[in-house]
Amino acid sequence: MSSRSCLSIILAAGEGTRMKSALPKVLHKIAGLPMVAHVARSAEAAGAGDLALVIGHGAEEMRKASAKFAPRAESFVQEQRLGTAHAVLAARTAIARGYDDVLVMFGDTPLIEAKALTAAREKLAQGAGVVVLGFRTPNPTGYGRLIETGGKLVAIREEKDCSEDERRVTFCNSGLMAIDGRYALRLLEAVGNDNAKGEYYLTDIVAIAAAQGLDVFATEASFENALGINNRAELAEGEAIWQKRRRREAMLAGVTLVAPDTVFFAYDTEVAPDAYIEPNVFFGPGVKVDGGAVIHAFSHIEGAHVGSRVEIGPFARLRPGTDIDERAKVGNFCEVKNAKVEQGAKISHLAYIGDARVGAEANIGAGTITCNYDGFNKSYTDIGRKAFIGSNSSLVAPVTIGDGGHVAAGSVITEDVPSDALAFGRARQKILPERGRMLRERLASAKKAAE
């Protein structure tokens, strides 16, 4: 397929009013990525070298979004919504450049797989003029039927126009289509609008192509590939299907998921074989987990790298910019942000480490925090190799704890601590005999007077 040029046209102009959202429908996310970006990724994986986005509602927002997920994509605005064929022709200038294959896709079908698109392109390579992607369902009500004769597709019949026999057909139209680039403009321009809505329907090119002596075929994919997302309930269904696919891929690749249905991946999560993931773990975008790592239950990880044989959680949060080296530990109720935790270091419980380095084999005591924000700027904390930070210590950045430095529990550290030094940053304890009883009596008296 690499020898054939391919243009993928993604129709993304719908307003999506059923989403009840100011955000364009196709920008709603599945696995942390806009739906339309999922479609673009599948097109690219199927060999589509060029991408055309047909946009309408929220055009500027769409352009900004596409600059991130498809920086090379061209945008074409559909000024009027006059049907699917009319929408495709909004990208006329791209089609006219002359591609071997033209894929027509929809921005609200995020579960389309590259292999389904590749199968359609292979049919074009074998001589088909048009290929329609279909699916089978035991309940075809509401879907257009794919009518075949002698192995070829002769029509796409909307349900209202079906005969009794045709209504029993369970092979249905997904709407996705592949067209031989030599004929694409000719076929699209031949589509008329002589129908009740006065719109130009892409499905009409099946009959047009057949009438022009071109071979038209249907290829089959699962129903999930064709699933369109129109409201929040369907968005949740799409998320569930995507997650189910990804969990299975991970487990077949050697990842242990103790309770698969409770683990949520992002679109770009990378988990190496022999990683072990307990229940109720959430991965946001930008996470890489190396082999042998253990992610305990109820952990939330985003924008982070978890090294080999690292132990995370339970109830840990790793935020963007976190890099945990091998054999390190981030324990329960700990939060780490934009920090390097080096080999064998331990942050076992109830700590916050932000904008920092924790040196190899250092130990961070319970309740320790790096005070990295002064209300205006973020500052850096550097904790050296084999340093020991006692419980309930506050390290006020910018500050450096040298290699082997020891901070006594309960300290507030505002100055650098040299290597192998011991630092106390707390007030001397003072005991006032009987003052506890006197304070208690005074407070009780004041409360009684107030009542």
Q: Annotated active-site positions, please?
A: 349
Instruction: List the one residue out of 79, 101, 206, 95 whose CA is nearest residue 149.
Output: 206
Task: Report the C-alpha gap between 301 and 429 in whole angstroms.
Answer: 40
Which residues contact residue 134 at a Cβ distance below 8 angstroms, ignoring those fewer than 6 apart?
146, 171, 172, 173, 174, 218, 219, 220, 221
Say if residue 432 is exposed, middle or buried (CB neighbours under 10 Å; 0-12, 13-18, 19+). Answer: exposed
Q: Which two tokens stand for residue 428?
A: 């001397």
In order of 47, 131, 175, 243, 298, the CA distances from 315 in angstroms are 42, 50, 44, 22, 5
Which amino acid is residue 14, in one-letter code? G
> Could you tell me if residue 21 is left (phi over 0), alpha (psi between -120 and 50 degrees) or otherwise beta?
beta
Contact 308, 290 (CB under 8 A): yes
CA dihedral sign, ordered 162, 167, 169, 172: positive
Largest pairwise CA distance in the chain: 105
Task: Report the C-alpha gap between 52 and 58 in whole angstroms.
Answer: 16
Peptide bond into 279 cis (omega under 30): no
DSSP H helical segments within 106-149, as ranges?
Answer: 114-125
Q: Which two tokens stand for residue 316?
A: 């840990």
Instruction: List the one residue out of 253, 300, 258, 301 whose CA is nearest residue 276.
Output: 258
Task: Report the C-alpha gap between 134 and 124 in whole angstroms.
Answer: 16
306 pairs with which residues across the strands? 289, 324
DSSP 278-311: -SS-EE-SS-EE-TT-EE-TT-EE-SEEE-TT-E
Element (H, E) at 352: strand 352-358
User: What's the residue count for the chain?
Assistant: 451
Give 121's Cβ-side CA count (13 Å radius). 26
